Amino acid sequence: MVKTKDERLAEVHAEALERSREMQTALREVREECLQDRRFVSIPGAMWEGPLAEQFDNKPRFEINKIQKSLTRIYNDYRNNRITVDFTNKDGTGKDDLASVCDGLFRADCHDSDAESSFDNGFDEGTAGGFGAWRLIAEYEDEYDPENEKQRIRFEPIYDADNSVFFVGGKKQDGSDAKACFVIYSMNPKDFIDEWEEDPASWPKDIDQSYFDWYTPDVVYFAEYYNVEDKTETIHIYRDASGEEYIYTSEELADEDFADELEVKGIVVDRKRRIKRRRIHKYIMSGSQVLEDCGYIAGKNIPIVPYYGKRWFIDNTERCSGHVRLAKDASRLKNMQVSKLAEIAALSPIEKPIFHPEQVAGLTDLWAEDNIKNNPYLLIQPIKDQQGNTIQSGPVAYTRPPQIPPAMVGLIQETEIDLKDILGNEGADEIRANLSGDAIAKIQDRLDEQSYIYISNFAKAIRRTGKIWLDMARELYTEPGRKMKIVSIDKQDDSVELMRPTQLENGETVTSNNLTEADFEVNVSIGPTSATKKAATRDKLVEMKQYTQDPETISILDALIMMNTEGEGLEETRKYWRRKLLRVGAVEPTEEERAEMRALAENTPPDPNTVYLEKAAMKEEAQAAKYAADTQKTLAETDKVVAETAREEAETLETLVDVREKEEDLNSPKTSISIS
């Protein structure tokens, strides 16, 4: 019996609820610790959450938050060494034009959707608590234009990921082998009703902490459910008269008009093949029903990227932690000691005499104002016995100032050492004056060692982001002639035309910028921010100037120094120096700059000096040609004279031979001839 749509969605909802309960139960303890760690370091008063607060009820409870300083250094280290995606060919042949286009499109999507905020939120949560996340979505370029169906890939943060993101199945750190994923969101009940026109039924959410939160908003939870569907389907491979192959799915061939068009073009079926196809089905659910069946999304990967500060898989359970976890006990102990010392210090440190009331009767102001007036002496009333005789007596006793227990002094010192061991002894690694470059480098290496594990794990998450983006782009960025913004590595904007017909030198026409063919390896590079890199580049260029005396090279280096100089109001100056570098061919122009250079060359009148030099060169060439012609003529005349001379010598020689023969005939004896 064929199920109706409502029946099918009801089964999907029941399965999703069961999966969500299982994952939240399995990860509840781990994720609650992640949430407690973030609260511990971020919320005032959270360091005293739990049973410890009961022991210090109605007593001073101070917080010495040394963990935040250590976290801030790691945050700054990450922000000063941004991680970027680099697409390269899988066959190891390096980088081609299409890979560069993908790099530029990825940077443009990151810039336009403020991806840095999403990455920063995920890094901060994961580094402090142990788990952070962000997501990729496809949005229309203009949601208010019904005719514009072009989409761009956007990056969005996921807040409180440790209690809202759950992957189902799989053990890989990047979540690539997961079978499903939940993302739990909150919404005001009134907004929920306005959005879905349904009574709010909250999605179950078991992980929560609310100590010291005097106000918690009234919210209802709903979930995005991403389910991986691996299906086997048949593809039809067609071939045309030239032998070129085309692949179509059964769904495409179900269109009779499309099939008839193939037949008219002479494209016939060659063979069939069954393949597996991975698709991601997205649903939006409340606690009672499926609110929306979003269908299949672009790409074949769950578009949720997890980031773990530190991660283990122990006893078949995922476990993670951040930078705060190991420092919590030492910080609590430090806060207890400081609070106890403050309580002791609040008590009077001065010995105070204790009298009978009659001893200070009438003299209370004298004793009360002694600390202010610093009296040279104080008086008391005499005490008399029953006979009226004065009894010589002093104070009954003295109050004693509080004493600091010796064990507390040693414990404070030990706690301070523990905190330095866990968080890093930053005080000992401060860069002081007159330190050598090697010493500074060693200090920096020690500081980097504390944050490297977080930077390394975050690089894995960024690499996963690049894979998801590329898979989505192969389906979304396929419109022929569509012009899209790209951003270069040095933050320069440019544009590219997708699916552009390009003619090769041999006359063959190919389609360039075809992202359906973008099957690349995704690499990541960890490096300093743009401003830091420019400062380092500028210093290196200044150093390079001492190694050359060539004026042209020095001019190029000066231009590059100006290009890498940051400052307010220098943008136009940098453009000027870039144009200067373009004129000498020191940098590669963008497509827009090439067009500007061609237009400038066509519209600019020739320079008079250039015209003069060109005419002078032409005159010199003409004179050189004339000299060459005269030389050839002279050589020809010389050859003619040589030939005539040789002919005359031959005639003279022949004449001499004839004369000699005649002389020989005259001198020889006569012979008689008789005739009989």
Q: What is the DSSP string of 465-528?
A: HHHHHHHHHHHHS--TT-EEEEE-TTS-EEEEETTEEEE-TTS-EEEES-GGG--EEEEEEE--
58: left (phi over 0), alpha (psi -120 to 50) or beta: left
Residues 45 and 157 in one domain: yes
Tokens 């269908």 correspond to 295
Q: Give dist(CA 572, CA 579) in Å, integer.
A: 11
The pLDDT assigned to 534 comes to: 62
Q: Which domain holds residue 184?
A: 5-327+448-503
Q: Among 439, 469, 503, identify where a domain stops.
A: 503
**Considering the domain boundaries, does residue 351 fall inside one?**
no
Asked if residue 470 and residue 535 are part of one domain, the reply reads: no
Q: State the Cα–Cα distance between residues 309 and 161, nearest whole angstrom.
A: 13
Q: Is residue 342 part of a domain?
A: no
Query: Is residue 541 located within the same domain as residue 487?
Result: no
What confidence category does residue 435 fall into, taking pLDDT thresholds of 50, 70 and 90?
very low
Residue 531 has pLDDT above 60, yes or no: no
Q: What is the CA radius of gyration of the chain?
A: 45
- Answer whether residue 669 is part of any domain: no
| Greater pLDDT, 22 or 90 | 22
For the ranges 179-193, 288-302, 416-430, 450-464, the lowest mean pLDDT is seen at: 416-430
Instruction: Tell me phi and psi for residue 46, to 5 degrees.
Output: -70, -15
Please, what is the average pLDDT of the chain?
81
- Do the domain assignments include residue 433? no
Q: How far apart are the first and last CA of the chain?
A: 151
What is the total residue count of the chain?
676
Residues 322 and 453 reside in one and the same domain: yes
Residue 197 inside a domain? The answer is yes
* 49-99: pLDDT as tens digits: 888 888 888 788 888 888 898 899 899 888 888 888 999 888 766 667 899
User: 549 and 493 in one domain?
Assistant: no
Q: Please check whether residues 582 and 456 belong to one and the same domain.
A: no
E strand or H helix that includes residue 453: helix 437-476
Neighbour tally for 166: CB within 10 Å = 24
Residues 483 and 569 in one domain: no
- Cα–Cα distance, 145 to 513 (Å, whole number): 26
- The region of weakest confidence among 19-23, 164-168, 310-314, 400-404 is 400-404
Based on the fold, state whether residues 104 and 251 are members of the same structural domain: yes
Domain for residue 46, yes or no?
Answer: yes
Domain final residue, candidates 603, 631, 653: 603
The tally of domains found in the chain comes to 2
More confident residue, 150 or 387: 150
| Burial classification of residue 46, based on how many CB atoms lie within 10 Å of its CB (0-12 exposed, 13-18 middle, 19 or more buried) | buried
Residue entry with tokens 């799989």: 170
- Whether residues 459 and 590 fall in one domain: no
Of the residues 603, 633, 662, which one is the last residue of a structural domain? Answer: 603
Please answer whether residues 148 and 166 qualify as being in contact, where contact means their C-beta atoms are separated by less than 8 angstroms. Answer: no
> Same domain for 457 and 596?
no
What percentage of the chain carries pLDDT values higher than 90? Answer: 28
Residue 124 falls within a domain, yes or no? yes
Indicate if 40 and 123 belong to the same structural domain: yes
Based on the fold, state whether residues 303 and 206 are members of the same structural domain: yes
In a domain, 166, yes or no: yes
